[in-house]
Chains A and B, each alone.
Chain A
Amino acid sequence: MHISLFITCFNDTLFPETGRAMVRLLERLGHTVEFPLEQTCCGQMHYNTGYQEETIPLVRRFVEVFGQAEAIVAPSASCVGMVKEFYHNVADRSGDPELMEQVEAVVPRVFELSQFLVEELGVEDVGAYYPHRVTYHPTCHSLRVLHVGEAPLILLRNVRGIDLVELPAAQECCGFGGTFAVKNADTSMAMLGDKIRHIKDTGAEVCAAADNSCLMHIGGALNRQRSGVEPVHLAEILASTEEN
């Protein structure tokens, strides 16, 4: 399959390793990966913070860049959620019927990585090897916006060498919430404190998730506390092999 990588501005700039892992993984599974260089940002941050007028050109840009793609796959549940659940709101706001149509047309071809692998490609074992104790935090947007369900855990369970441990109160929000983490820093931290406690209780050395944004927040505290737990994106675990 021809897969267009929707890397997201966040991963492009801050977590390039996640993107490299995705390329390795998808090519290993026999697919052709493309990276349209004209892509920038999906507009999630602007939209969620209330700058909805500013989101319209970004939606336009997205449908132009990815309009012809066969499958558009991203390592971020929240950015995919933005496209799939909220782009039609932005298109409505623009009042442009053509944009509404373009959004309608592109949305069914946009996927979050784990959902794409399990539900679209029917792959449950990607042939990965990762000899570490790992706990998985299901991010809110993967759970309650995209409903990825068990997909990431199915993939992780099939990784060789992994010691996968269940995270207590896993479905509770970590307290990131984009600009919430700065605007309501105290409340955000109170939420994060409990998430960190649960992560540490598992004795894991790695905390995995499908969103680097939440992981940046969780990892920020893990690092500040010198906790000995590393945040790692799901794609990086799935890309690991014995040789690499």
Chain B
Amino acid sequence: MQTPTFEESAKAYLSDTQLRRNIGHATHTIRDKRQTVVDEMPDWEVLREAGSSLKNRIMRHLDEYLLQLEESVRQAGGQVHWARDAGEANRIIVDLVKEQQVEEVVKVKSITTDEIKLNRALAEEGVRALETDLAELIVQLAGDEPSHILVPAIHKNRAEIRELFRKKLNQGELSDRPEDLAEAARLYLRKKFLSAKVGISGANFAVADTGTVAVVESEGNGRMCTTLPETLITVMGIEKLIPTWRDFEVFMQLLPRSSTAERMNPYNSFWTGVTEGDGPQEFHLVLLDNGRTNVLADEVGRQTLNCIRCSACLNVCPVYERTGGHAYHSVYPGPIGAILTPQLRGLEDEGAASLPYASTLCGACYEVCPVKINIPDVLVHLRGKIVDRKKRAGGLNAKSDPEYIGMRLMARAFKSRSRYERAQKMARVGQKFFVKDGTISKLPGELSGWTAMRDLKPIPNQTFREWWGDRDE
């Protein structure tokens, strides 16, 4: 499959003024709030270090921890299913749902289910998957795609949501006050919660030694979905493990402050298998690979799996802030998406392979990441893999690629002093065609991107080394 490249898509989104305003405003607000609640923690850096070490340990022994989790969940009365890819996961879930003979299921917000396109797979079998997170519901009603991993409707403002609810929820009179909008959704959803027989969720964490699964959220819809239905199906990427219950100590401090800028999430739901007479009586845990073991196999890329999906990196990213999430053509946008998507999807996909270049390497993401994923390092590592692939493909493709030609010529020049000095002189002579009134305002080919909006100063008549040589004499 080929998705469009980031640079192509970004153009359109950059000129969407409403989107620019909505996302710019939202990311700045949450960015500042996060900073405030992080600054009140004297041991924040130690916590980050702990989070990163724990996750690194899990990735080193993932095979063992996964088997331990499977055993723990079974012991507690749950059932575990292994899914190699999206197709397998969907088949497992569709079968489980059909066994219950229902036409509708309620869902807790889960990016993993978006990743495997579960709702579509269910719809094809005549089952309607109802999103119960307010923002996910908005996106679903609008027939849109999420654009942020925590705030899927971040690209929409109140006026747009009011219009949508008026149309889709048959609300005649409705103000655009947040309380009224939430109330309209609440009334609509309440009925559904009470009648649903099957709930589907993702997972923030699963504890290997107890089999406990955890979902943290703000609205309470997750609590409803995981407690009211008779059957609960949880889909989880295989990297979401933590070794012991005690490790929540670290992650329950890191996650809420980094994601919603709260000291604690309003709703923290934990369940361990099934409990007789209390909550769902059937629990299925679907463990999803879908490319994750490939990520694990790459020593530099592996840290990508440490991600706890807090979205702090999106909120500080100067690129995401301006293009929004849809330009990334993935359920994982922003900096984490730029490293995760190409690794999950593979570099053959041109769109995915354009993502590691959708960054200035400014490092803002690395600075805030609660589990210290060195995103710039992984971005550059992936760029290296992309170029290596291009070289291996060889042939005309590589030979006619202007960037490749330029890079090779420059690498050659930099290898010897005399060639380098000759290249400096040639550039000085060559630029004569483009200098006008002491400025370069128009360049051809690949470089026209620069001069489309920026001038360039001509190369001065004397290089530094020439000056140094004259001075020495």
Contact = CB atoms under 8 A, between A and B. Distances in A.
Interface stretch (B57-65, B141-149, B201-209, B407-415): B407-415
Contact of A61 (B367, B415, B447, B464): B415
A52 B384 contact: yes
A50 interface: yes
Given A16-B462, A20-B467, A37-B465, A50 B383 contact: yes
A185 B453 CA distance: 9
Interface in B431-461: 439, 441, 446-447, 449-450, 452-457, 459-460
A47 B459 CA distance: 24
Interface string B355-379: 0011111111011000000000100
A217 B469 CA distance: 29
Interface stretch (B7-15, B47-55, B68-76, B301-309): B7-15
B407 A46 contact: yes
A185 B420 contact: no
Contacts of B318: 172-173, 175, 191
B345 interface: no
B360 A49 contact: no
A181 B455 contact: no
Given A50-B384, A51-B407, A224 B453 contact: yes
A190 B360 contact: no
A14 interface: yes
Interface centre among B362, B408, B416, B467 (most CB of A within 10 A): B362
Contacts of A217: 454
Interface string A20-45: 10010000000000010110110101
A47 to B, nearest CB: 7
Nearest to A191: B318
Contacts of B14: 186-187, 190
A187 B450 contact: no
B296 interface: no
Given A49-B403, A50-B387, A175-B318, A35 B455 contact: no
A41 B465 CA distance: 13
Contact of B407 (A49, A57, A181, A183): A49
Contact of B464 (A16, A140, A173): A16
A144 interface: yes
A45 B411 CA distance: 10
Contact of B414 (A40, A49, A52, A190): A40
Contacts of B450: 181-182, 185, 220
Contacts of A46: 407, 410-411
A19 interface: yes
A47 B376 CA distance: 12
Given A54-B407, A186-B7, A48 B383 contact: yes
A184 B6 contact: yes
A193 to B, nearest CB: 9
Contact of A224 (B10, B449, B454, B464): B454
SS of B interface (majority): helix
Given A49-B387, A184-B358, A221-B453, A20 B464 contact: yes
A40 B465 CA distance: 11
B416 to A, nearest CB: 8
Interface stretch (A5-13, A124-132, A152-160, A236-244): A5-13
A110 B269 CA distance: 51
Contact of B463 (A12, A181, A224): A12
Contact of B455 (A20, A190, A224): A224
B463 A16 contact: yes
A144 B359 CA distance: 15
Given A140-B363, A177-B362, A38 B417 contact: yes
B380 interface: yes
Contacts of B384: 50-52
B319 interface: yes
B363 A145 contact: yes
A91 interface: no
A229 B463 CA distance: 25
B123 interface: no
B351 to A, nearest CB: 14
A13 B109 CA distance: 54
Interface string B325-365: 00000000000000000000000000000000111111110
B465 to A, nearest CB: 6
Given A20-B464, A176-B360, A177-B362, A9 B414 contact: yes
The 5 closest A-B pairs by CB, nearest first: A177-B360, A220-B454, A50-B383, A185-B449, A144-B363
Interface of A: 7, 9, 11-17, 19-20, 23, 35, 37-38, 40-41, 43, 45-54, 57-58, 61, 86, 89, 140-141, 143-145, 172-173, 175-192, 216-217, 219-221, 223-224
21 contacts: A7-B465, A12-B464, A16-B466, A23-B468, A37-B465, A40-B415, A45-B407, A57-B415, A61-B415, A89-B377, A140-B361, A140-B363, A144-B366, A144-B367, A175-B360, A180-B361, A182-B446, A184-B358, A185-B453, A187-B323, A220-B450
